[in-house]
Amino acid sequence: MLEKLDEIQSSALQALYSVMDEESLQSWRVTHTGRSSALMQVFSGLGQLSKEERPLVGQKANQVKLALEAAFNEHSQVIQKAALKRSLEGEHLDVSLPGRPLRGGHLHPATQTLRRILGILAEMGFQVYTSSEVETDEYNFQNLNFPPDHPAREMQDSFYVEAGERGDNPVLLRTHTSPGQIRAMRAAAATDPNNPPPIRIALPGMCFRYEQITARSEVQFNQVEGLAVGRSITFSDLKGTLNDFARRMFGQNARTRFRAQHFPFTEPSAEMDVECFVCGGKGCPVCKQSGWLEILGCGMVHPLVLQNGGYDPLRYTGFAFGMGPERQAMLRYKIEDIRYFWGNDVRFLEQF
């Protein structure tokens, strides 16, 4: 058996050195080291040998296997170098040819929509105000008139970072951009506590909610919030502002409607729909045959929120609204799954 192993090694090496291309090299590997090779048959027959012969033959077979594998790897490099040399000698490179153009990057579709929204609001006199993505319960809920038993406070809706020292003001990832309302009002009121100046701001940012990911909901999403506070601001001012925004965003012929709704931080509250720009209000799968698309929530700032922001609700009023850039992009481009925005699939991103 030991002599047979020597013959197997000698025959295999002799055949290997005559191989001159990659295809023949792979064929050699299968023939001499594959499952049906003579070497593997020796391993299969070890159980039939005596106890004295088995370790000697097994050791020799392993040595042969290692030798063939090392020879295969070495000869493979020789063949690759030879193939590269033939390629360099046989092919000519024209250095005068123009280089291959680099594919330029572009803005994410969500960022494009976000910038469009902020650009329109800037033209309407809103200043951009940003706040932290990590907030306390006080700013995220308490100052915005969320009752202690509001379902949005539960763990299934919010990502809590830490409980806090006293346990009654935990830290969490903000669930909406509305905490920025309080911070912006307090910053403005600090300049003149007795007569705070009017403000008109847009608050963009990422929000986080502990929800099940579906085609219509994500754990993270962009939001743009608008806030205007001053003297004698009315609901008519809110409607006029949002109607003007809709015409700038969706076209001068865009039709809108307002529906009553409830939000803890506004009173009265409403949702605004825009006439479906896909079917022109006739009804289609995008608008669920209703002819209308809901694009934002809005309302007059609640007196308690004004007070928490440092403004006297007896002297000041204000309105607020919030919208999602991803939702508007989904409506405009007929995108059926919100997960496409964060999937980083180039086939999707290249369409924008």
Which of the four pLDDT bands, split at 50, 70 and 90, describes residue 151?
A: confident
Q: Considering only CA atoms, which of 343, 336, 323 is closest in space to residue 116?
A: 323
Asked if 280 contacts 316 with a C-beta cutoff of 8 angstroms, the reply is: no
Question: pLDDT tens, 190-228?
Answer: 999 999 999 999 999 999 988 888 877 788 889 999 999
Dihedral angle sign, alpha carbons of residues 138, 319, 321, 185: negative
pLDDT in tens, 47-83: 888 888 888 888 888 888 898 889 889 888 988 888 8
pLDDT for res 333: 81
What pLDDT band is residue 167 in, cutting at 50, 70 and 90?
A: low
Alpha carbon distance 239, 99 (integer Å): 55
pLDDT for residue 313 is more than 80: yes
164 pLDDT more than 70? no
Q: Tens of pLDDT along 314-340?
A: 999 999 999 988 888 887 787 888 888
Residue 262 has pLDDT above 60, yes or no: yes
CA angle centred on 36, ends 35 and 40, rounded to 5°: 65
pLDDT for the residue numbered 155 = 61
- For the question of whether the overall pTM of this predicted structure is more than 0.75, the answer is no
**List of residues 6+ apart from 289 with CB closer than 8 A:** 283
